[in-house]
Amino acid sequence: MAAVRAQYPTTQPGKHLGQQRAAPATRFPLTPVAQALLGVLLGAALWAPAPSAWAQGIPAATEARRSFDVPAGSLDQALSRFGRQAGAQIVVNAELTAGLKSPGATGSLTEAEALRQVLAGTGLQAVRDASGEYTLRKTPALPASEATLPEVRVRETTLPAVTVKAKADVSATTQGSGSYRAAGPTSTATGLALTQRETPQSISVVTREKIDDYALSSLNEVLEQMPGVHVSSLDSERTTYSARGFGIENFQYDGVPTTINSAFSAGNNLSSTAIYDRVEVLKGAAGLLTGAGQPGAIINLVRKKPTATSQKQVRVGAGSWDNYSAELDVSAPLSTDGRIRGRGVAAFQDQHSFLDGSQRKTSVLYGMLEADLTPDTLLSVGLDYQNTDPQRSSWSGTRPIYDRYGNRISLPRSYNSGANWSGWEQTSGSAFASLTQWLSDRWKLQASLTHQYNGYDAKLGSIQSGPFADGTSTIFANKYVGRTNTDTFDFAVDGSFSWLGREHELVLGGQVSRAHWTGTTYANVSYPQRIVSDFWSWNGDIPEPLWGTPSSYQDETTRQEALYAATRLSATDSLKVLLGGRFANYRYAAPNSSIDYQQNGNFVPYAGLVYEINKNISWYASYTTIFKPQSYRDVSGNLIDPLEGKSYETGLKGEFFDGALNASAAYFEIRQENYPEQLEDTYAPDGNPAYRGIQGVKAKGFEVEVTGALTRNSQLQGSFTHVKARQDGKLVSTTAPANQFKLYASYRADALLPGLKLGGGGRWQSRTYQTIMNYGLGRQEEYSQSAYAVFDLMARHEISSQLTAGLKINNVFDKAYRTNIGFYRTTSYGEPRNIHLNLTYKF
């Protein structure tokens, strides 16, 4: 966590740091036609008249409520904590605040309310100018001799002055904000704490408010509503994500990347949301901070943080198919001065399914401590753990597509191909610690150390081929056991510096990680009974096979080392230039396969521009890259170059109604190079086939997103995404839709019933398809899912200040649709209509 520090002015007399900000809107006036075109492009007023006609009903940024935790103490420290939580800039006089105490501010407050509480009893008041900057001065009610003191701006006083600036609180919480918009900065893209508008890439966020409104209990449910992300359930326990034509393989936790074994599901895709404040998705290549991976997107899971005031709640839920859950979330100061704070979460879910016999139990534990060791030092330590234990897991879909003769078969959505003993248990956990140390008024050091564990114990058996004419079929079974231990050390020094009369920002950092995967496969299976006597009435009842001795072992180690740097240069008041780069070493060793290869000195560049057109709209452009080493060799025996993803993006981003609404429109291209192509009848010196790198997938598309408040009582998140990926002119990635539209909204209907919130929305996607082999007829066939839409409804009622009831109805119109089309010639269906009720009690 970054702190707010005093920054001594280094600019010329008569100016202060806060003045070097965006130019007023009148500096670059737009014609009415241009304003209208930009408004349409950004989608900021698709359903409403011109903003001037109804902006009175929109809450200003300072009127939006959020959770503040500013403990009592010195006024300087209280202002620092307020500034980083509010994202506000304050100009103060160092002598004016010396020795003063603040009572602090806690609870769900507006920015103005929180600041008034912080200043209560100090004899000072804050005046906010048109740029959003605050200036502290004596209250006019003081005696005349004091009231005539000049305002404490550098240009108006000879007293030493400082600028207190919130510039790096990437941990700012969204819980209690009441908004679908994440107002705080994020460092996911560059390591610099930038707002979404300041970042020259597309970033989408699902906040805690939206998670609670729609009772999104799992990462899968969150990403189904996430703009630009496609979710595909391969079977009952495995889910894949994709964006912009590429699979999403990379995860961050609180901005720290981790290496995931994507070959075997081990807890990440089944993550419970109980411990997270929000989920961020950074679109495009993200190699600057991430390391090796795919260029589509990365997912950043931001954990809940301890609070300086006591917050305790318990939530219980019940839903269709005997879906029961309970959650306890407790946060409180652990010392009388609030310098030590803790938070703990425990959650349990017993979730049956619409699939015959399918059930999953999920247990979650989480704890985190924060300690202000000194006014300049923050230490955070924590643990998290999750176990998912399913019964009757399906495997490779939930039913086959063809019978043994190549005819397509029809089965109810509830059909489950899994055996009763089939289960894919997954366990994940981590221990983490981070230290933030302010080195000076402008610079800070952040370091983190994380140990992560991901394990799986999968005894799998299912019907993967359709029936014979007599209705019989067979099961197929394998067993997989393994774990991945990942250790990551991440450090960064960041701050601001003056150059050529302007303020700029810089981050220098590095990462070291080691991921060790060990696994055992049991494929030498003996079946006491393999024949399924009646495919059509299959109930999973068949003896568990004898697993025998292991057929293979996996022992793989991946090491990554990197140094990176990024800077944000203020070329003019309105133009910011972002430059960065990463030097990375990568080594992969698999002794069982006699593989030990490495790629050293890989350079990953980053470049971006952000131009502030006016106070509401910015234009941006970026070029980002990512790489993924390959083990294929050329005719000389050399490793072919890493698979490289290059992402080009440009667009517009806007903030409207005093920051209550975000909108963006992006055009992007992603190009993949060094795709491995096997050379015909050509071999490397080791006797294996030789390869060469060629042009890979090229994806193009655009995305429009609107998130935030349209009126004082409403919140929404809506998006439209179009993308097509081709290789050699042929469409690829066709299992993900070319077009997606998502819209979810809520409205506080206090006029109907005090404390009532109503909402609804849905997601639509275009046709998807895949060419699969029909062995019964000996030919390739196209298998498809036509375009479809799914609609959901929700309601929440604050019965009292302590008790809230929630209701959600998923798939209101009971649309039948497939989430897996052709994986191993199988298919899977999405959930039919279902209902979920929950009660939350705060104590």
Are 395 and 417 in contact by the 8 Å Cβ rule? The answer is yes
At 613 the pLDDT is 97
- What does each C-alpha distance from 226 to 207, 705, 743, 794 come to in angstroms? 10, 10, 10, 17
Query: Between 111-119 and 75-86, two packed helices, what is the crossing angle to 10 degrees?
Result: 180
Give SS3 for 535: coil
Mean pLDDT of 133-139: 76
Please say if the pLDDT value at position 668 is more than 60: yes
Task: Please report which confidence band the pLDDT of residue 642 belongs to, taking 50, 70 and 90 as the band edges.
Answer: confident
Task: Please report which confidence band the pLDDT of residue 410 belongs to, taking 50, 70 and 90 as the band edges.
Answer: very high
Please say if the pLDDT value at position 84 is more than 70: no
Q: What is the pLDDT of residues 493-550, one digit of tens each?
A: 999 999 999 999 999 999 999 999 999 999 999 999 999 999 999 999 999 999 999 9
Q: How far apart are CA 424 and CA 458, in angstroms?
A: 4
At 176 the pLDDT is 85
62: its two tokens? 């300072």
Domain ranges of the chain: 5-30+64-165, 303-842
Mean pLDDT of 675-692: 84
Please say if the pLDDT value at position 372 is more than 70: yes
Q: Give φ, ψ of 765 to 5 degrees.
A: -140, 150
Percent of the chain with pLDDT over 70: 85
Q: Which range, of 145-159, 160-174, 707-721, averages the lowest pLDDT?
A: 145-159
Let me know if domain 303-842 sits in CATH 2.40.170.20.
yes
At 677 the pLDDT is 82
Q: Which range, of 27-31, 294-298, 533-537, 668-672, averages the lowest pLDDT?
A: 27-31
Task: Please report which confidence band the pLDDT of residue 598 belongs to, taking 50, 70 and 90 as the band edges.
Answer: confident
Task: Please report which confidence band the pLDDT of residue 648 belongs to, taking 50, 70 and 90 as the band edges.
Answer: very high
Q: How far apart are CA 748 and CA 64, in angstroms?
A: 14
Task: Please report which confidence band the pLDDT of residue 36 belongs to, taking 50, 70 and 90 as the band edges.
Answer: very low
Are 767 and 746 in contact by the 8 Å Cβ rule? The answer is no
Spatial neighbors of 544 by CB under 8 A, at least 6 apart, are 419, 421, 459, 461
SS3 per-residue string spanning 563-596: EEEEEEEECCCCEEEEEEEEEEEEEEEEHHHCEE
Tokens 């001594």: give the residue. Answer: 8
Name which residue leads in pLDDT, 7 or 35: 35
Q: What is the pLDDT of residues 209-255, one digit of tens each?
A: 999 999 999 999 999 999 999 999 999 999 999 999 999 989 999 98
Q: Which range, of 142-146, 211-215, 699-703, 713-717, averages the lowest pLDDT?
A: 142-146
Q: What is the pLDDT of residues 784-808, one digit of tens each?
A: 999 999 999 999 999 999 999 999 9
Closest C-alpha to 647, from 666, 632, 661: 666
Within 10 A of 314 (CB to CB), how many other CB atoms are there? Answer: 15
Burial of 376 (0-12, 13-18, 19+ CB in 10 A): middle
Stated pTM of the model: 0.82
Let me know if domain 5-30+64-165 sits in CATH 3.90.245.10.
no
